């Protein structure tokens, strides 16, 4: 449990980080939404701010004056409970409120939050909600990176974001197999530190013997799969996956471009030659599974990953697992609006473990359960094999 002083630091850092991420953008980049999964950066900035005004200031800041009662509601993502204020147009169709308005909104809410935090001794409950708000904003920071990448990387001009962001981490060590023995293991979040509801409920899991790779699958290995005709061999794919790759004409990871017979990759630094030793990224679960089939291996399930993770490096790619996203035994859905958050997505999604180059610092942990539909590729996803 963080102290109020620690929360203050966490809050300040988090708010600054979001703005730092966006400091490389043009105003226009904040506005567009090329696909449904990608939100406009201005929406992320507004929504994370709305969260603090709605769930903290309104409740704990006594006489808080709303920044703009007629506008902020457009940043409510909990549409279902909004009722009469349903927004029909998509987020990417909203030119107003403007980016300048949103920065004013952020400034106002950040200052009001700082006043609240610095001038009052807050209850454990209030601090808990603020901590959640910070973690919520950190999640959106990761989405800011991946959504910005989608926006720029699908623009025909392929503009770069900046020169600093490093996507490709080299794994300069030998591939080895880590053996884990059959037996009962404990799964789930144990400490007092922050975690999400879906990680809670420590429980026992019986695992069989397995061996897991210490390395993520690399671009070089994935090119072998492509060149061996992996995308054309129906026996490697789930039935839904086969329909998907054919309908969308998928034949390589996302952001790959073949130019004069050489594979290139759009990165946040612009278009570069594909780094063969870097872990493959922007692939779907479907592709990870097909690759594993081709190798005669499989993906780990999430409990295997959690059990073995101490013994390998992770954090540059969200790693697909074989596990469907389901409640842990004794899962308890939190009360109220915040409770809607995780449970309602527990169908038709796969769990990813680890974290990525886009994950905010101190945001992930070895029990963290990320989840996406099996065909999604806009995150910095990757995978490792089990045999």
Which residues of the shown chain bind a copy of itself in the complex (CB under 8 A)? 26-34, 42, 70-71, 74, 80-81, 85, 87-90, 92-99, 151-152, 154-157, 159, 184, 203-206, 208, 234-235, 237-242, 285-286, 289, 298, 301, 322-324, 326-327, 329-330, 339-340, 344-348, 350, 374
Give the integer Cα–Cα distance in Å for 338 and 346.
15
- Nearer of residues 3 and 347 to a copy of itself, judged by Cβ: 347
- Nearer of residues 64 and 203 to a copy of itself, judged by Cβ: 203
Quick one: which of 314, 131, 149, 134 has its CA closest to 215? Answer: 314
Q: Smallest distance, Å, CB 46 to a copy of itself? A: 12
Q: Smallest distance, Å, CB 164 to a copy of itself? A: 20
Cα torsion through 143, 148, 153, 156, rounded to 10: 140
Cα torsion through 331, 335, 336, 338, rounded to 10: -50
Q: Smallest distance, Å, CB 308 to a copy of itself? A: 15
Q: Smallest distance, Å, CB 339 to a copy of itself? A: 8
- Nearer of residues 117 and 386 to a copy of itself, judged by Cβ: 386
Give the integer Cα–Cα distance in Å for 144 and 151.
10
Give the integer Cα–Cα distance in Å for 61 and 113.
8
- Nearer of residues 38 and 216 to a copy of itself, judged by Cβ: 38
Q: Smallest distance, Å, CB 151 to a copy of itself? A: 6
Q: Smallest distance, Å, CB 22 to a copy of itself? A: 13
- Nearer of residues 188 and 382 to a copy of itself, judged by Cβ: 188
Give the integer Cα–Cα distance in Å for 345 and 112.
33
Q: In sequence order, what are the beta bridge partners of 319?
A: 353, 382
- Nearer of residues 23 and 184 to a copy of itself, judged by Cβ: 184
- Nearer of residues 85 and 115 to a copy of itself, judged by Cβ: 85
- Nearer of residues 203 and 215 to a copy of itself, judged by Cβ: 203
- Nearer of residues 60 and 289 to a copy of itself, judged by Cβ: 289
- Nearer of residues 2 and 94 to a copy of itself, judged by Cβ: 94
CA 304, 310, 313, 319 torsion: positive or negative? Answer: positive
| Sequence-ordered list of residues with C-beta below 8 angstroms from that of 113, at least 6 positions apart, any chain | 11, 52, 56, 57, 130
Q: Smallest distance, Å, CB 67 to a copy of itself? A: 14
Query: What are the tokens at 27?
Result: 């105003």
Q: Smallest distance, Å, CB 363 to a copy of itself? A: 23
Q: Smallest distance, Å, CB 289 to a copy of itself? A: 8
| Sequence-ordered list of residues with C-beta below 8 angstroms from that of 63, at least 6 positions apart, any chain | none
Residue with tokens 């308890």: 332
Q: Smallest distance, Å, CB 41 to a copy of itself? A: 10
């Amino acid at each position: 449990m963080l102290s109020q002083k620690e929360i203050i630091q966490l809050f300040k850092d988090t708010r600054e980080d979001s703005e730092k991420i966006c400091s490389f953008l043009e105003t226009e980049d904040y506005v567009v939404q090329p696909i449904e999964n990608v939100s406009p950066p201005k929406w992320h900035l507004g929504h994370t701010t709305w969260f603090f005004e709605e769930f903290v200031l309104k409740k704990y800041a006594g006489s808080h004056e709303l920044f703009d009662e007629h506008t902020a509601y457009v940043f409510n993502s909990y549409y279902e409970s909004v009722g009469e204020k349903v927004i029909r147009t998509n987020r990417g169709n909203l030119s107003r409120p403007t980016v300048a308005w949103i920065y004013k909104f952020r400034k106002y809410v950040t200052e009001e939050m700082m006043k609240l935090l610095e001038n009052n001794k807050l209850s454990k409950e209030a601090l808990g909600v603020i901590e959640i708000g910070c973690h919520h904003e950190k999640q959106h920071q990761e989405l800011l990176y991946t959504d910005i990448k989608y926006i720029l990387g699908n623009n025909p001009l392929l503009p770069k974001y900046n020169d600093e962001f490093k996507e490709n981490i080299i794994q300069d060590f030998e591939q080895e197999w880590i053996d884990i023995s059959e037996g009962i293991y404990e799964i789930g979040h144990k400490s007092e530190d922050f975690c999400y509801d879906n990680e809670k409920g420590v429980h026992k899991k019986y695992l069989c013997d397995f061996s897991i790779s210490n390395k993520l699958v690399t671009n070089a290995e994935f090119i072998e799969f492509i060149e061996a005709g992996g995308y054309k061999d129906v026996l490697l794919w789930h039935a839904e996956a086969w329909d998907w790759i054919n309908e969308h004409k998928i034949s390589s990871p996302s952001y790959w471009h073949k130019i004069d017979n050489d594979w290139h990759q759009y990165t946040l630094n612009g278009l570069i030659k594909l780094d063969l030793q870097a872990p493959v990224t922007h692939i779907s679960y479907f592709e990870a599974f097909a690759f594993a089939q081709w190798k005669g291996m499989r993906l780990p399930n999430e409990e295997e990953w959690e059990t073995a993770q101490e013994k390998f490096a992770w954090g540059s790619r969200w790693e697909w697992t074989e596990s469907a996203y389901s409640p842990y035994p004794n899962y308890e859905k939190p009360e109220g609006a915040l409770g809607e958050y995780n449970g309602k997505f527990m169908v038709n999604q796969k769990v990813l473990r680890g974290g990525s180059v886009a994950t905010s610092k101190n945001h992930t942990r070895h029990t963290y359960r990320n989840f996406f539909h099996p065909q999604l590729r806009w995150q910095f996803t990757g995978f490792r094999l089990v045999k």
